[in-house]
Amino acid sequence: MVDIENTSKPSNKKSALPTHGTEATTFRSTLKLLFTNQMFLVFLVSNYLMSCGCHIIFTIIPQWGQELHVGKNHIALAISIGGGLEIVARFGNGFFANRRYVSAMTQLGVAVILAGTSTLILVSWRDQGAFYLCGALNGLSLAPVVTLIPIVLLERFDKAVVSLALGIVYGVQGGGVITSYGVTASLQSWSGSWSLGLYFMAASMLSGGLIHILYSLLYPNSTQKYLACRRKTEETVTEDKIYSESS
């Protein structure tokens, strides 16, 4: 007698092992899936705009402070405040992400808009108080900007494509950082001031943040479904409890 159960297991395991050809085919099909997906393309654009300001603000702040003759001690303290608040923001960001009050993309959009607004305050106020406020707001917004990208992808895509998608997003962000360095330096060379570069960074962040929020509102994801399901479950439990008490 042949043990079908024992003989079937090795063959299944063997067939499950990917060959080089199947891996290449899967990679190409995954790329095609991502780059033909409207949501992913919009997410790449918003991340590119976001990275044009969020990731280099603390490298521009010292240059801007030197231009305005703000003391180095004030600039250092402002950056330190931002670093301290970033630690606090990581805990708060994790709490809101777990509770799922809103989608991760909405959280990301609000954080990016906060960072863009702080940059506008910095370039328009032109006082040492603006550096403190900008450092604090950037500290609060930087944690979500760094940590929410994988959560957004997990909310809206299958786990099988998230790793590749995350690598592509980080690559696009790197391109945004390089672009921002080039643009801000060129504007400073042309105008003799860092103000135009800061306006460029603020406009990029505000645009990216608005795209995040608008897309999350136009195309709600599993968070809204999760909340609706949870509310329905809670209502069912409440009705059952009332029924059992009345009976």
29 domain-assigned: no
47 in any annotated domain: yes
**In terms of Cα–Cα distance, which of 147, 120, 134, 135 is closest to 204?**
120
CATH number assigned to the domain comprising residue 198: 1.20.1250.20
Per the structure, the complete domain to which residue 98 belongs is given by 38-246
For residue 145, pLDDT beyond 50: yes
Q: Are 152 and 104 in contact (CB under 8 A)?
A: yes
Check residue 226 and give its pLDDT: 40
The count of domains in the chain is 1
DSSP for 41-106, please give it: HHHHHHHHHHHTTTTTHHHHHHHHHHHTT--HHHHHHHHHHHHHHHHHHHHHHHHHHHHTSS-HHH
- Residues 59-76 pLDDT 10s: 888 888 888 888 888 888
Residue 114 in any domain: the answer is yes
In a domain, 228, yes or no: yes
In a domain, 226, yes or no: yes
Distances in whole angstroms, Cα of residue 227 to Cα of each of 34, 110, 212, 217, 241: 27, 20, 20, 15, 21
102 pLDDT band (50/70/90 cuts)? confident
Per residue in 25-37, pLDDT (tens digit) is 577 787 888 888 8
Let me know if residue 7 belongs to a domain. Answer: no
Among 79-83, 101-105, 126-130, 228-232, where is mean pLDDT lowest? 228-232
The alpha carbon dihedral of 216, 98, 205, 202 has a sign of: positive
Report the amino acid identity of residue 221.
N
Helix, strand, coil abundance in the chain, percent, nearest 5 = 85, 0, 15
Residue 13 lies in a domain: no
Asked if residue 15 is part of any domain, the answer here is: no
